[in-house]
Amino acid sequence: MKMPVNPRFHPASAPDYLPRGQRQLLQWQRLQGMVQRAYDHVSLFRERMQGLGMTPQDVRSLEDVPKLPCMLKKDLLEHYPYGLFASPMKDIVRLHASTGTTGKPIVVAYTQEDLQVWANVMVRSFSACGLHAGDIIQNAYGYGMFTGGLGAHYGAEALGATVIPISGGNTQRQLMVMKDFGATAICCTPSYFLHLIEQAPELGFNLRDLPLRTGVFGAEPWTEAMRQRIEAESGIKAYDIYGLSEIIGPGVAMECRCQAGAHIFEDWFYPEIIDLKTGQPLPDGEEGELVLTTLGKQAMPMIRYRTRDITALTSEPCECGRTLRRIQRIGRRSDDMFIIRGVNVYPSQIETALLRVEGTLPHYQIILTREKGLDEVEVQVEVTREVFGDTVGALQQVQRQLGKSIETLTGLRFKTRLVQPQTIQRSEGKAKRVVDRRQM
Ligand SMILES: [Zn+2]
């Protein structure tokens, strides 16, 4: 009997469908090697283990993971550039670095084997959202030290797709190439794609006439409301990819076609959710900070790395058949949070609030100032030309609705300022949502 062949199924995706018990066995085998490796070669980890009176032999099952010491971004900064490497330089074939906001960046390293794992999880990511050999993927993530560009690039090649290594920026050329080369998918930040949507008609392109059907968007938090806006305005399907350089780069988790949370590639990245305040592990379904342990990283093992990303894990079965748990969409990073009048506020709450109001555009900035010792927030939002060109009444109505919508979501009243389209600076990479002008 002939077996049905699903042309969309890539063999690299097989581990996505492993029974849970088998996956846990695999995780356990890999974890033991990882803990031993970090203990033998990373002095920071060994010292912390010794401080807790632990050796790798004290880790007897996956349930012992929460006993292990955590690693923080601060550790990477303090051991800049090579202090956390577990491989000799002769085995390290690639370095990447994050763009540090202040001072030195963080540096991450890969052996040949690490690069293979990275390409593997990127193939599985592309496959999860329906891309396959024959697709033409325009890779508009920045190439260079940032992991987005090369991560997506080698993943797309390993998938068997055609990759256009255009990198970020130069909007006119992006649109020309997209049309002439017949790109079927694009990889970039969601905010840059919004910029393409906005520029297309002005530069004489209609995205709906192009073969483009899939967007793989990541590298910054974005909301469900933003996804709906992108899909409605461009006619493509927008998928969320999650990753971070410290762990591997993009490809830690990816949404499938059900668009109901990102499947985490648990056979390589062991996830936990912990309580932000107490650090205690939380059960599936509860929201807290995502902590990840790499299960195969040779050059730079990360044991219980605190991502600062806030999410929840779900083990509910997904319609796609993958048995990998999913993380809820990450709209919040504990790093992005700002505190106003004692209340924690996240940019994603403002984004959701403003996208609920008709007449607004998904371009906004949150300005924090301090006047006479009091923190003030002004949310600047672009509105459509129709609203802006209309009577004063239309503007006032949008402003009222916006204020109400923000108050509903945050419990606070913020100053709002409606501005003309194209006023807020566009980003070709990660969008800058919060401008903090308070004196420190
Ligand atoms: Zn799924």
Q: How far apart are CA 199 and CA 202, in angstroms?
A: 5
Are 195 and 140 within 8 A, CB to CB? no
What is the Å distance from ligand 1's center to 370 Cα?
A: 45
What is the Å distance from ligand 1's center to 166 Cα?
A: 30
- If pLDDT is split at 50, 70 and 90, which confidence band does 336 have? confident
- pLDDT exceeds cutoff 90 at 218: yes
Residue 5 lies in a domain: no
Q: How far apart are CA 268 and CA 245, in angstroms?
A: 14
What mean pLDDT do residues 342-371 have? 88
What is the Å distance from ligand 1's center to 327 Cα?
A: 11
Q: Residue 369 is which amino acid?
A: T
4-60 tens-digit pLDDT:
456 577 999 999 999 999 999 999 999 999 999 999 999 999 999 999 999 999 999
Residue-by-residue DSSP string for 269-289: EEEEEE-TTT--B--TT--EE
What is the Å distance from ligand 1's center to 329 Cα?
A: 13
Residue 412 lies in a domain: yes
Looking at the structure, tell me whether residues 330 and 421 fall in a common domain.
Answer: no
- pLDDT exceeds cutoff 90 at 342: no
What is the Å distance from ligand 1's center to 16 Cα?
A: 9
Looking at the structure, tell me whether residues 227 and 351 fall in a common domain.
Answer: no
Residue 4 lies in a domain: no
What is the Å distance from ligand 1's center to 9 Cα?
A: 13
Looking at the structure, tell me whether residues 175 and 277 fall in a common domain.
Answer: yes
What is the Å distance from ligand 1's center to 121 Cα?
A: 15
User: Residue 249, CB half-sphere, CA atoms under 13 Å: how many?
Assistant: 34
What is the Å distance from ligand 1's center to 263 Cα?
A: 7
What is the Å distance from ligand 1's center to 210 Cα?
A: 27
What is the Å distance from ligand 1's center to 100 Cα?
A: 34
Q: Which residues contact residue 223 at a Cβ distance below 8 angstroms, ignoring those fewer than 6 apart?
A: 329, 331, 348, 351, 352, 355
Are 246 and 302 within 8 A, CB to CB? yes
Looking at the structure, tell me whether residues 355 and 232 fall in a common domain.
Answer: no
Are 323 and 16 within 8 A, CB to CB? yes
What's the structural domain count of the chain? 2
What is the Å distance from ligand 1's center to 181 Cα?
A: 30
Looking at the structure, tell me whether residues 262 and 383 fall in a common domain.
Answer: no
What is the Å distance from ligand 1's center to 260 Cα?
A: 7
Residue 109 lies in a domain: yes
Looking at the structure, tell me whether residues 295 and 355 fall in a common domain.
Answer: no
List strand residue ranges (DSSP E) for 30-91, in order.
none
Looking at the structure, tell me whether residues 250 and 265 fall in a common domain.
Answer: yes
What is the Å distance from ligand 1's center to 262 Cα?
A: 8
Looking at the structure, tell me whether residues 426 and 328 fall in a common domain.
Answer: no
Looking at the structure, tell me whether residues 296 and 420 fall in a common domain.
Answer: no
Residue 219 lies in a domain: yes
Looking at the structure, tell me whether residues 34 and 162 fall in a common domain.
Answer: yes
Boundary (domain end) residue, out of 316, 334, 352 = 334
Are 56 and 68 within 8 A, CB to CB? no
Boundary (domain end) residue, out of 334, 349, 376 = 334
Q: Which of these, 118, 24, 30, 16, lies nearest to 324 by C-alpha position? A: 16
Q: Which residues contact residue 197 at a Cβ distance below 8 angstroms, ignoring those fewer than 6 apart?
A: 207, 230, 233, 234
- The values of phi and psi at residue 221, to 5°, are -70, 145
- Mean pLDDT estimate for the chain: 92
Residue 132 lies in a domain: yes
What is the Å distance from ligand 1's center to 254 Cα?
A: 9
What is the Å distance from ligand 1's center to 285 Cα?
A: 16
What is the Å distance from ligand 1's center to 81 Cα?
A: 38
Q: How far apart are CA 150 and CA 139, in angstroms?
A: 9
Boundary (domain end) residue, out of 288, 304, 334 = 334
- Give the pLDDT of residue 6: 60
Q: Which residues contact residue 71 at a Cβ distance below 8 angstroms, ignoring those fewer than 6 apart?
A: 44, 45, 302, 303, 304, 305, 306
- If pLDDT is split at 50, 70 and 90, which confidence band does 101 have? low
- Domain ranges, residue 234: 10-334
When computed from its CA atoms, the radius of gyration of the chain, rounded to whole angstroms, is 23
Q: Which residues contact residue 297 at a Cβ distance below 8 angstroms, ignoring those fewer than 6 apart?
A: 34, 114, 117, 247, 248
Q: Which residues contact residue 387 at a Cβ distance below 8 angstroms, ignoring those fewer than 6 apart?
A: 359, 394, 395, 398, 418
What is the Å distance from ligand 1's center to 428 Cα?
A: 30
What mean pLDDT do residues 98-122 have? 89
Looking at the structure, tell me whether residues 245 and 367 fall in a common domain.
Answer: no
pTM of the model: 0.89
Q: How far apart are CA 45 and CA 295, in angstroms?
A: 15
- pLDDT exceeds cutoff 70 at 102: no
What mean pLDDT do residues 318-323 have? 96
What is the Å distance from ligand 1's center to 125 Cα?
A: 11
Looking at the structure, tell me whether residues 385 and 407 fall in a common domain.
Answer: yes
Mean pLDDT lowest among 14-28, 186-200, 244-258, 363-377: 363-377
- pLDDT exceeds cutoff 70 at 3: no
Residue 1 lies in a domain: no
What is the Å distance from ligand 1's center to 256 Cα?
A: 5
The three-state secondary structure class of 333 is strand
- Where residue 388 sits, what CATH number does that domain have? 3.30.300.30
What is the Å distance from ligand 1's center to 311 Cα?
A: 17
Residue 232 lies in a domain: yes
385-436 tens-digit pLDDT:
888 887 788 889 999 999 999 998 888 888 999 999 888 988 777 788 888 8
What is the Å distance from ligand 1's center to 259 Cα?
A: 7
- Where residue 50 sits, what CATH number does that domain have? 3.40.50.12780
Tokens at 21, concatenated = 């018990």
- pLDDT exceeds cutoff 90 at 2: no
